[in-house]
Amino acid sequence: MLMNDQDIIKLYWTRSEQAIAVTAEKYGKYCYSIAFQILNDHEDAMECVNDTYLRAWNSMPPNRPDSLSAYLGKITRNLARNRYKLERTKKRGGSQTALALEELEMCIAGGGDPADSMEMQALGGLINSFLFDQTERNRNIFLRRYWMLSPIKDIADFYGISESKVKSILFRMRKKLAKLLKDEEFY
């Protein structure tokens, strides 16, 4: 029986080293999956997951997340993305990140980057708003692709639908997002 999230967070707050073990037991595969999709390398993904545990250990306390899965997932994704950016100079190809970046190109049209964190925050808010307006399944498909960076085949298998259908849904959502970004003058 896996420990519930609030009990795990208590272990962090009481500085019990068991916190890492139970986190790994419950969320190890989940974090590894996120890291691997981004990095496409077992060793790097494992290191990233271990760094996630360390980051969680160092940040709880003071943090007490409402959702441990989201908290750990975001840490893993950020760590993996940072590592990916470093590794990219070595031209290590084949990851889902490269494919996802290619797909998202249709949503932007060059121009300047958001100048500061305020603009990045506004962009994040816009994406949240966009996702709120989607059906739950479409939103999850979008996030599996562009948040978890899951391969399209995995997404299709997960929902029991064809890969063509997943591609179709993503294509239409990217078009909507592109229009929204344009309307809001993000490009």
Q: Please report, as ranges, the residues that interact with another protein according to CB under 8 A.
A: 30, 65-67, 69-71, 73-74, 77-78, 81, 85, 97, 100-102, 104-105, 107-108, 110-114, 120, 123-124, 127-128, 131, 136, 139-140, 143-144, 146-148, 152-153, 156-165, 167-169, 171-172, 181, 186-187
CB atoms within 10 A of CB 140: 17
In the complex with another protein, which residue's Cβ is closer, 45 or 152? 152
In the complex with another protein, which residue's Cβ is closer, 14 or 168? 168
CA 52 and chain centroid, separation: 13
Task: Compute CA distances 183 → 89, 128, 134, 176, whole Å.
Answer: 34, 16, 18, 10
In the complex with another protein, which residue's Cβ is closer, 62 or 111? 111
Cis peptide bond N-terminal to 114, omega within 30: no
Q: What is the nearest approach in angstroms of another protein to the Cβ of residue 69?
A: 4
Q: What is the nearest approach in angstroms of another protein to the Cβ of residue 45?
A: 17
In the complex with another protein, which residue's Cβ is closer, 47 or 163? 163
In the complex with another protein, which residue's Cβ is closer, 62 or 112? 112
146, burial (CB in 10 Å: exposed 0-12, middle 13-18, buried 19+): buried
Q: In whole angstroms, what is the distance from residue 140 CA to residue 131 CA?
A: 9
Residue type, 176: K
Q: What is the nearest approach in angstroms of another protein to the Cβ of residue 130?
A: 10
Q: What is the nearest approach in angstroms of another protein to the Cβ of residue 49?
A: 15
Q: What is the nearest approach in angstroms of another protein to the Cβ of residue 111?
A: 6
Q: Which two tokens stand for residue 73?
A: 């997932």
Q: Which two tokens stand for residue 34?
A: 């996120």
Q: Which two tokens stand for residue 68?
A: 């441990």
Quickly tell me which residue has 């996030």 as its tokens.
143
In the complex with another protein, which residue's Cβ is closer, 17 or 132? 132
Q: What is the nearest approach in angstroms of another protein to the Cβ of residue 58?
A: 19
